[in-house]
């Protein structure tokens, strides 16, 4: 991991999201810590952990954006992955110890296509032991390294899209679009098992998180360069832009005053939105004020969940 010079003074930056193109060797925590240092201690978080060996899109939440992480982590994600057949590892990826090697000559294209088709759609997935999931405050991977086994439960996930993009001997290149909570290395291990030869995740790049694409991503070094010339805001996505998938409700000046105090407001057009849907509340000047939840009834109300302007969030 290359050293990055940190800012000596706090850099003035707005609230929003930086799309980092994470390089291999960095943990998600490394990236947060480095950017926090570059910004002189500004509040920084992330939405969606990437393993150290993985690369690609890591959304960094700056300032008030840390309050809306829950709205980003639920987005679908897209990956480019390489499945290596014939080798099973204890971590389900290339960082682990090889437990078994099997000849893969019998895996023909027709058999591969059939297995790929089986892994599309809603399904159950068992989270791997080597993961950051915590039990009683202790990550599973620490238990795994100590030779302990933690009782785990399968999770509901959805593989929206799964296709083979290239085959190079025993290495199968995949494009995956999936729901939150999906472990691509577990997907690869399960596919290898279904093919009867085992397998593990050889490499992984996240190319998209929701609407945030790798083409918009910056390395930490590029962010440092923007800090040096005072242009970080030029690459910072505003909260309004990042949350654009949420329906917008424009409030009057009187309603805006209530919203900023966290008080619910009435809305005569609630039938436009499904029950309990999240909405953006904006004033008549187009300023994003808060995020609320509609109750879904005609002439219903909007409960204020997050106030995003003024002082600290009320939630």
- Catalytic position from the list 15, 30, 51, 76: 51
| Per-residue buried b or exposed e for 276-314, using 16+ beta carbons within 10 Å of the residue's own CB | eebbbbbbeeeebbbbbbbbeeeebebebbbbbbeeebe
**Residue 213's Cα: distance from chain center in Å?**
11
Residue 93 annotated as catalytic: no
Question: Looking at the DSSP assignment, which residues form a beta bridge with residue 21?
Answer: 57
**Cα angle: 176, vertex 198, 52; to 5 degrees:** 55
- DSSP collapsed to 3 states, the chain: CCCCCCCCCCCCCCCEEEEEEECCCCCHHHHHHHHHHHCCCCCEEECCCCCCCCEEEEEEEEHHHHHHHHHHCCCCEEEEEEEEECEEECCCECCCCEEEECCCCCCCHHHHHHHHHHCCEEEEECCCCCCCCEECCEEHHHHHHCCCCCCCCCEEEEEEEEEEEEEECCEEEEEEEECCCCCHHHHHHHHHHHCCCCEEEEEEEEEEECCEEHHHCECHHHHHHHHHHCCHHHHCEEHHHHCCCCCEEECCHHHHHHHCCCCCEEECCHHHCCCCCEEEEECCCCCEEEEEEECCCCCEEEEEEEECCCCCCCC
Active site residues: 51
């Amino acid at each position: 991991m290359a050293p990055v010079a940190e800012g000596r003074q706090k850099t003035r930056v707005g609230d929003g999201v930086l799309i980092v193109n994470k390089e291999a060797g960095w943990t998600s925590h490394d990236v947060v810590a480095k950017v926090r240092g570059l910004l002189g201690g500004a509040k920084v978080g992330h939405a969606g952990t990437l393993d150290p060996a993985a690369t690609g899109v890591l959304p960094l939440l700056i300032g008030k954006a840390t309050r809306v992480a829950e709205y980003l982590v639920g987005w679908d994600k897209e990956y480019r992955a390489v499945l290596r057949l014939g080798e099973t590892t204890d971590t389900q990826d290339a960082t682990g110890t090889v437990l078994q090697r099997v000849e893969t000559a019998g895996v023909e294209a027709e058999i591969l296509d059939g297995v790929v088709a089986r892994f599309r759609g809603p399904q159950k997935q068992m989270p791997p032991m080597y993961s950051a999931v915590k039990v009683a405050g202790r990550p599973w991977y620490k238990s795994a390294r100590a030779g302990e086994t933690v009782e785990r439960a399968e999770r509901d996930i959805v593989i929206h899209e799964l296709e083979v993009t290239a085959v190079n001997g025993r290495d199968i290149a995949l494009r995956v679009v999936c729901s939150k909570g999906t472990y691509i290395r577990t997907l690869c291990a399960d596919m290898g098992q279904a093919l009867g030869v085992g397998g593990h995740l050889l490499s992984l790049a996240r190319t998209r998180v929701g609407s945030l694409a790798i083409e918009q991503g910056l390395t930490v070094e590029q962010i440092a360069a923007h800090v040096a010339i005072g242009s970080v805001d030029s690459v910072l996505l505003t909260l309004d832009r990042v949350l654009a998938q949420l329906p917008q409700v424009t409030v009057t000046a009187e309603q805006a005053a209530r919203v900023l105090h966290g008080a619910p407001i009435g809305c005569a057009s609630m039938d436009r939105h499904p029950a309990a849907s999240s909405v953006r509340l904006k004033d008549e000047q187009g300023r994003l004020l808060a995020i609320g939840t509609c109750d879904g009834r005609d002439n219903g109300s909007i409960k204020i969940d997050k106030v995003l302007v003024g002082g600290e969030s009320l939630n």
